[in-house]
């Protein structure tokens, strides 16, 4: 009987050690992820610092480093990268990223007003640029990245602008069609939104 109890104690002790090691490994991984995230946020802040100084090329290096190393792109980065792209005369790239910020934050974001103003200017400059047949090479477009949609995990559908209905002008007046991508409330999940950006979201009807 004593041997039986000793065997149980030894088994429990081994199991506790295994679970303890797993917990420590999990905590270590979380710490490493947090340290990496903190370091990337410092790079983002550094990029904003250089942008504010007018050193747009250096800021671009910082922002692109964050883009290449972050799991999902923070919404603030979509604004800063769009703004800096405008300062670098990369208007198509600027429009793309500023548009993502507006889609994510609507009119209530910290930088929404500035984003709308900058995007209008970028659109005007892009029209001029196209008429002169000179486009920037090596543009970084948001469809290549997963965008972080924030704590809500949802985004207003950019196809129907959240109406869930698409209106088209026809010979006999306007025609109405249900949006094939969003739910009945005009929302997309963050995963669906990123799939739509990449052209991978299949229509529901």
Mean pLDDT of 164-193: 84
Q: Quick one: 190 and 117 in the same domain?
A: no
Distance (Å, whole) CA 136 – CA 93: 9
Provide the CATH number for the domain around residue 54: 1.25.40.10
Is 163 inside any structural domain? yes
Mean pLDDT of 58-71: 93
Is it the case that residue 46 has pLDDT exceeding 90? yes
Is it the case that residue 39 has pLDDT exceeding 70? yes
Q: Quick one: 106 and 85 in the same domain?
A: yes
Q: Quick one: 41 and 139 in the same domain?
A: yes
pLDDT at position 106 is: 85
Q: Are 197 and 147 in contact (CB under 8 A)?
A: yes
Q: Quick one: 101 and 168 in the same domain?
A: no
Mean pLDDT of 126-136: 70
Mean pLDDT of 54-80: 93
pLDDT at position 21 is: 63
Is it the case that residue 130 has pLDDT exceeding 80? no
Is 5 inside any structural domain? no
The distance of Cα 149 from the centroid of its chain, to the nearest Å, equals 6
Domain boundary among 120, 144, 168: 144
Distance (Å, whole) CA 3 – CA 182: 65
Q: Quick one: 104 and 181 in the same domain?
A: no
Question: What backbone phi and psi angles, to 5 degrees, belong to 145?
Answer: -130, 150
Is it the case that residue 123 has pLDDT exceeding 70? yes
DSSP 3-state assignment of 180? Answer: coil
pLDDT at position 42 is: 93
Q: Quick one: 38 and 117 in the same domain?
A: yes
pLDDT at position 204 is: 81
Q: Quick one: 189 and 97 in the same domain?
A: no
Q: Quick one: 62 and 87 in the same domain?
A: yes
* Total domains, the chain: 2
Token pair belonging to 121:
């200017």
Q: Quick one: 119 and 92 in the same domain?
A: yes
């Amino acid at each position: 009987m004593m041997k039986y109890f000793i065997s149980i104690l030894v088994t429990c002790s081994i199991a506790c050690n295994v679970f303890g090691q797993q917990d420590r490994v999990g905590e270590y991984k979380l710490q490493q992820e947090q340290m990496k995230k903190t370091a990337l946020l410092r790079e983002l802040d550094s990029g904003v610092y250089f942008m504010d100084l007018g050193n747009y090329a250096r800021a671009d290096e910082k922002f692109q480093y964050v883009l290449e190393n972050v799991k999902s792109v923070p919404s603030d980065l979509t604004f800063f990268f769009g703004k800096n792209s405008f300062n670098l005369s990369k208007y198509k790239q600027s429009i793309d990223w500023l548009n993502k910020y507006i889609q994510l934050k609507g009119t209530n974001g910290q930088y929404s007003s500035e984003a709308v103003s900058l995007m209008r200017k970028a659109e005007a400059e892009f029209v001029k640029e196209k008429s002169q047949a000179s486009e920037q090479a090596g543009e970084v477009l948001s469809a290549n990245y997963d965008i972080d949609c924030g704590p809500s995990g949802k985004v207003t559908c950019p196809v129907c602008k959240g109406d869930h209905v698409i209106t088209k002008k026809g010979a006999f007046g306007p025609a109405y069609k249900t949006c094939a991508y969003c739910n009945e409330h005009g929302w997309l999940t963050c995963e669906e939104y990123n799939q739509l950006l990449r052209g991978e979201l299949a229509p529901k009807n």
